[in-house]
Amino acid sequence: MAVLCGSLTAFAQAEEGFGIEANPMAGRVFKHTKRFLGPIPPVSGGLDLNFLWKTRGNKDWQYRRHFPTVGIGITYTSYDRQYYGQGIGFYPNLELPLIRGNRLEWCMRFGMGLGYISKHYTRYAPDYDTLNNAIGGHINNFSLLASDLRLHLNKHWDVQAGINFTHMSSAKFRLPNLGINLLAGHIGVRYFPNTSSPARREKKVPALSNRWLLQFRQGIAMSTGESIGSTATPVYLSALYISKRYWSKNKVFAGIDYSYHESLYNFQRLQGIHPGDEKQYAWKSGVYAGHEFLYGHVGLMMQIGVYIHQAILPSPLLYEKLGMNWYLLQSESGIVKECWISTLLKTHYSTAELAELGVGVSF
């Protein structure tokens, strides 16, 4: 243990731009849908820790993105004691400067990862709790969006204040999946053992072409269907779209997607609905448009779509997807230009529907 601590200390002292921040936070859970039945705690709070690195220009994308800060965050939240319990979130994150000055800066931070929550809906004795219809299981998606106004005291210390929004839900892997949304304020400090202003490497970054690509993605998700306690079954998702890169660091795209829900097929079989034609009423399709911010081998993707075909149990007309593409191949030549793995969260407004894992290819 002493060797490990010594190694971490030596790394922190030697690595320019490495820092640690701590943000105590307090706020309130809010009901984002009328179906949210549980009581709202008067106050919920916790602590957000973030291990961060300020980029210095080792890669071309760091220049194009004006040297953003990347991090690995761990968040503890005490929602309450009786209904929602405590939550832990583990998430990679990216900080984007909005206004940057010598002493003051304003920034946004976004992260998505895994979460654990101690309490969830259960209808079995002795721990039954049917008021908590927000969370269906212990393991969840965890997402954070924060904004900070920061004051640089010296090369080692910063102080900051801001607001953050956190979301915890099972994305229909376990019902109920309404999720818990917390809006909170925070104050915090940052400490850099070496310096908060690492020396940037000077280099000339070539401009990339504003190319068009044909892209295809195939994904899978798990859904428990429409009944609490039912078995999780697969959802198969496909997307075909075109994209255009601009400014060497962004993409806009538009296309069509398709999803087949095995749970809706089983629902019709169980209820004796559309015998022999169940598959025709178990799929959805939509057209969509979106944007992707490119950060080297990682892309932050968001899209909004409208259904052109609904399944037997219709959803709201609009849907959204938010997540990350993890690029395994990025090439400026050849037939295959990109290959990637995607981790996406599909929602209808503020209610999560699916957590999708996919693979994709671009031509």
Q: Could you report the per-residue pLDDT of 202-220, keeping only the tens digit for each?
A: 778 889 999 999 999 999 9
* Ranges 92-106, 112-126, 179-193: which has the least confidence: 112-126
d(CA 201, CA 57): 5
Count of CB atoms situated within 10 Å of the CB of 32: 16
Q: Is residue 42 predicted with pLDDT exceeding 60?
A: yes
C-alpha neighbours within 13 Å on the C-beta side of residue 251: 25
For residue 226, the model assigns a pLDDT of 60
| pLDDT reported for residue 125 | 60
Question: What mean pLDDT is reported for the chain?
Answer: 88
Task: Select the more confidently predicted residue: 319 or 17.
Answer: 319
Lowest mean per-residue pLDDT among 139-143, 227-231, 267-271, 355-359: 227-231
| Residue 22: strand pairing partners | 49, 189
User: pLDDT tens for residues 144-159?
Assistant: 999 999 999 999 999 9
For 149, the 3-state DSSP assignment is strand
Q: Specify the range with the lowest mean pLDDT, choosing from 63-72, 182-191, 300-309, 334-343.
A: 63-72
All domains in the chain, ordered by first residue: 17-191 (2.40.160.20), 212-362 (2.40.160)
Paired tokens of 126:
């002795």
**211/252 Cα distance (integer angstroms):** 11
Neighbours of 58 (CB within 10 A): 12
pLDDT at 86 over 80: yes
**Residue 190 half-sphere exposure, CB side, CA atoms within 13 Å?**
28
